[in-house]
Amino acid sequence: MAPHGGKSLPFLEAALPPFTVLNVLTMGASKGTPPYVNICEYKGWIMTDFMNTYHRLPVTFTRGEGAYLFDEAGKRYLDFTSGIGVNCLGHAYPALVQALSEQSAACIHVSNYFQSAVAKRFARKLVEACSGAGMKSVFLGNSGAEANECACKIARKYSLKKYGPGRHVIVTLRGSFHGRTVTMLSATGQDKFHKDFGPFTEGFIYAPPGDIPALDRALDNTVAGLLIEPVQGENGVRAQDAAYLEAAARFCAERDILLMFDEIQCGVGRTGSFLACEGFGIKPDVVTLAKALSGGVPVGAALAGEKAADVFAVGDHASTFGGNLLAAAAGLVVLETVHNAAFLKDITRKGDMIRDIIRSWNKPSVKDIRGKGLMIGIDIERDAWDVLETALEKGLLLLTAGAKTVRFLPPYTIRDEEIESGLRILRELV
Ligand code: PLP
């Protein structure tokens, strides 16, 4: 069943129609990465038209409902991934479905040359939801990488206007992940992303997280901005140390460097406060959001506080789809639902419940439990990708965040009994 001598995957083989030939190759599995199985080689079932950028698992989803996704055969899967932190209200959330269908019937898109009531309402509501963190204005785009690009342009323009050239460096942290454009790869402090695609955008340097003296040295008079994920997602779900973030805020305020929080994964309620920075009691100058913000419709947002709210002039930045009406209509539903004290408290409660259940297993193979709210990483002894594949077979969808870290980003609307049933499956696998 593995004609090229590649790895045989019984689960995969069982999932495939019997009349076709599976050609599963194990390609260059290196330390720290999951076994890389080229399932695109499998003709006629998994589509071969895509570029080979994703390790797509052998399941085709046709619909979702709440915390569940259903495959072509009608098999039900409990979704602890939310499409990597996107479907925060679960699948087919009635108010979201209604808002999208009404908006698409009315108008899907108007260019930013014109005004739109729904986009204006979304921007107003978003700035209002982030006003506790000091935010005053927003630029809307379509993705996280784009939101971070916008943030870096804000920092550079702010610095240039005030101090002239030569003060353009953006400091980011080792282990960070900020997106896949060439500039956001420059911002990303992980060497594994830096091969094959250089030369990169200049003017990015990395500081070691948690090291206050090193940050003090890095934030010199060439620096325009400091970009930090308050809870690093891709790097194993690691919350920054509160004292480190406080020192970062102090240095930035003293030196007039823009403090920018990448909350693309940890924002919009994920950690139990609307913005993760609020949980740390810090007011950054810029916050970036994406993923959960429109509950599944592509969106990105860069918000700026007092210092930088008016830094751009007409023509400085733009995006054809930015502020798209479907994203705005969906975003309004997310904001109306999530920016609510009782709803946010329940996210914290569910996250604590997950951590308590896992701790109660007393399993020596569970080495660490990290994260805040419903953003959770657990370090295990087994290969996390193996656990993910076996969990899929058993009807549970998981994410990884490193070779030995299983990550959950379940929908905020997940029910207690669904959490318990997913964790019963996981317990047997770790
Ligand atoms: N920043 C963080 C913290 C992320 O987790 C991600 C995506 O995982 C990004 C930026 C990039 O977002 P996008 O894939 O929407 O460009």
**CA of 74 relative to ligand 1 center, distance in Å:** 31
- Residue 55 has a pLDDT of 86
Q: 290 in ligand 1 pocket by Cβ < 6 Å?
A: yes
The pTM is what? 0.91
Mutation choice for ligand 1 from 142, 177, 231, CB with most ligand atoms inside 8 A:
177
Distance CA 348, CA 243 (A): 22
| Positions of CATH 3.90.1150.10 in the chain | 61-92+341-429
- 255 CB contacts (<8 Å, ≥6 apart)? 219, 221, 223
Q: 264 in ligand 1 pocket by Cβ < 6 Å?
A: yes
Helix (H) and strand (E) counts in the chain? 13, 17
Q: Which ligand 1 atom is at minimum distance from the Cα of 179?
A: 11
Nearest alpha carbon, ligand 1 atom 5: 265
Q: 188 in ligand 1 pocket by Cβ < 6 Å?
A: no
- 109 CB contacts (<8 Å, ≥6 apart)? 321, 324, 325, 326
Q: 385 in ligand 1 pocket by Cβ < 6 Å?
A: no
**CA of 14 relative to ligand 1 center, distance in Å:** 34
Give, rounded to a whole angstrom, the gap between the first and last alpha carbons of the chain. Answer: 28
User: Per CATH, which fold does 94-338 belong to?
Assistant: Aspartate Aminotransferase; domain 2 (3.40.640)
- Residue 141 has a pLDDT of 98
**CA of 232 relative to ligand 1 center, distance in Å:** 11
Phi and psi for 156 in degrees, rounded to 5? -70, -40
Mutation choice for ligand 1 from 53, 227, 264, CB with most ligand atoms inside 8 A:
264
- Residue 293 has a pLDDT of 98
- Residue 16 has a pLDDT of 46
Distance CA 323, CA 121 (A): 11
Structure tokens at 13: 């083989």
CATH of domain 61-92+341-429: 3.90.1150.10
CA angle 9, 11, 15 (to 5 degrees): 115
Nearest alpha carbon, ligand 1 atom 12: 144
Structure tokens at 91: 């699948």
Q: 401 in ligand 1 pocket by Cβ < 6 Å?
A: no
Q: Which ligand 1 atom is at minimum distance from the Cα of 232?
A: 3
Q: Return the number of other C-beta atoms located less than 10 Å from residue 50's C-beta.
A: 10
pLDDT tens, position by position, for the chain (430 residues)? Answer: 232 233 344 444 444 443 333 333 333 333 344 444 444 444 344 556 889 898 889 999 999 999 999 999 999 999 999 999 999 999 999 999 999 999 999 999 999 999 999 999 999 999 999 999 999 999 999 999 999 999 999 999 999 999 999 999 999 999 999 999 999 999 999 999 999 999 999 999 999 999 999 999 999 999 999 999 999 999 999 999 999 999 999 999 999 999 999 999 999 999 999 999 999 999 999 999 999 999 999 999 999 999 999 999 999 999 999 999 999 999 999 999 999 999 999 999 999 999 999 999 999 999 999 999 999 999 999 999 999 999 999 999 999 999 999 999 999 999 999 999 999 999 999 9
Q: 144 in ligand 1 pocket by Cβ < 6 Å?
A: yes
**CA of 17 relative to ligand 1 center, distance in Å:** 35
| Positions of CATH 3.40.640.10 in the chain | 94-338
Q: What are the DSSP E strand ranges found in 251-404?
A: 258-262, 286-289, 300-305, 366-372, 375-380, 396-397, 399-400
Q: 263 in ligand 1 pocket by Cβ < 6 Å?
A: no
**CA of 1 relative to ligand 1 center, distance in Å:** 37
Residue 227 near residue 178, CB atoms below 8 Å: yes
Q: 265 in ligand 1 pocket by Cβ < 6 Å?
A: yes
Distance CA 41, CA 9 (A): 14
**CA of 54 relative to ligand 1 center, distance in Å:** 15
Q: Which ligand 1 atom is at minimum distance from the Cα of 266?
A: 3
Q: 287 in ligand 1 pocket by Cβ < 6 Å?
A: no
**CA of 376 relative to ligand 1 center, distance in Å:** 17
Q: Give helix 325-338 / helix 341-360 axis angle, nearest 10°.
A: 70
Distance CA 393, CA 398 (A): 11
- Backbone Cα Rg of the chain: 22
- Residue 49 has a pLDDT of 86
Q: 141 in ligand 1 pocket by Cβ < 6 Å?
A: no
**CA of 279 relative to ligand 1 center, distance in Å:** 20
- Burial category of 396 from C-beta neighbours within 10 Å (exposed 0-12, middle 13-18, buried 19 and up): buried
Q: 262 in ligand 1 pocket by Cβ < 6 Å?
A: yes
Nearest alpha carbon, ligand 1 atom 13: 144
